[in-house]
Chain A
Amino acid sequence: MAFPPEHEIHKRRFGRNVGVAVTLGLFIVLVFALTVVKVTRGDPMQGFDHSVRPELAVEGASE
């Protein structure tokens, strides 16, 4: 059985899929770049984790 010739609609769908893939790829790169910048600049990264860590205490708090 021969394959039917490629319809124009398949090309359009392929273009759409490539567009979505490229967009998602660029989004991943951007989030990675943002993470690298935030981590290397020393922005606060620690959160509450069920154990006492004095470095998380707000400066000047009484307890």
Chain B
Amino acid sequence: MSDTHAYEAPGEAGFGDYVQLLKPRVMSLVVFTALVGLLVAPVGVHPVIAFASILFIALGAGASGALNMWWDADIDAVMRRTRKRPVPAGKVEAGEALAIGLGLSGLSVVMLGLAANWLAAALLAFTIFFYAVVYSMWLKRSTPQNIVIGGAAGAFPPMIGWACATGGVSVESLLMFALIFMWTPPHFWALALFMKEDYSNAGVPMLTVTHGRRSTRNHVLVYTILLVPVAVGAAFTSIGGPVYLAMALVLNAWFLVGAWRIWRRDEVVAEADGYAVEKSVFRFSLYYLFLLFGAFLAEAALKPYGLGGW
């Protein structure tokens, strides 16, 4: 039987490959920040509706990840960090990634609208559009400010979580958005400093490639300084409180010291110790965001006992 060969197509995808298409690691950050946005809101949400809302926000984020992998398959194949993704690895066809991305986008937006409300659904739709079209298709390959503006896509989830609970947008949800938005540039530029050749090989105009590494170090410091008032200012809204304020002061001081150490160094020193400072600041920046959102959650959890908030 000659057609048996047709069954032996190499690299046929398993279920896990389709899951990888949804960028599960990015999804975990989306789930966490959206959950915080939903739980710190002043309106209670039924647990089933809360669970469904977070699930559909995560699914929407996954859908935009699949669309990103469809569009970026050519540069993903060049970069070491992304070469093993399902599309460049030949496990999933680009067309499949597009179909899954579009299908899940529609499903997640409609289901979030039905489960929570249509403002949250509209924000999710805009987030998917922003990440897939504005960031992936337009900014990523055209400007070194790609990370700055593209960071908005990652900043929407807590705002969507808040909208699921309250049906609106408020100064608190805008501040949670601003916190992630301002955090993204120093976080990614610290990564770009030690992922040396990847971006230049792929022709992605990262700041390190277009303006040089000295300029990138300056940018890390300036954006970290701009981040501080946003992070500390959130302490004085209804979602903040003394626990958050203490956490914000310590973490921001630490982040500032890290950014200052990155700024003070040059390439010779950095290469000599294998980019130790850049790597440690990048790692710290992940804890920074996790702990700050954890502090919002702590304030909300303490409120019923008369301890959280001001």
Contacts and interface: CB of A to CB of B under 8 A. Distances in A.
B8 A9 contact: yes
Interface in B90-149: 114-115
Contact of B48 (A10, A20, A37): A37
A19 B52 contact: no
Contacts of B9: 9
Contacts of A9: 7-9, 12
Interface string B1-37: 0001001110011110010000000000000000000
Given A4-B4, A7-B7, A34-B115, A41 B46 contact: yes
A12 B9 CA distance: 12
A24 to B, nearest CB: 12
Interface in A1-29: 4, 7, 9-10, 12-13, 15-16, 18-20
A3 B14 CA distance: 24
A13 B34 CA distance: 34
B contact residues, range: 10 to 19
Contacts of A16: 13-15, 18
Contact of A34 (B7, B14, B52): B52
Nearest to B7: A9
Contacts of A13: 12
Contacts of A20: 15
Nearest to A37: B48
Interface string A17-52: 011100000000010011011000100000000000
B10 to A, nearest CB: 9
B78 interface: no
Contacts of A15: 14-15
Contact of A19 (B15, B46, B49): B15
Tell which of B14, B46, B49 has the most Cβ of chain A within 10 Å.
B14
Contact of B14 (A12, A30, A36): A12
A12 B7 CA distance: 11
Which 6 interchain pairs have the tightest Cβ spacing?
A19-B15, A16-B15, A37-B48, A12-B14, A33-B48, A37-B46
27 contacts: A4-B4, A7-B8, A9-B7, A9-B9, A9-B12, A12-B12, A13-B12, A15-B15, A16-B13, A16-B15, A16-B18, A18-B15, A19-B15, A20-B15, A30-B52, A30-B55, A33-B48, A33-B52, A34-B48, A34-B49, A34-B52, A34-B115, A36-B48, A37-B46, A37-B48, A37-B49, A41-B46
Interface of A: 4, 7, 9-10, 12-13, 15-16, 18-20, 30, 33-34, 36-37, 41
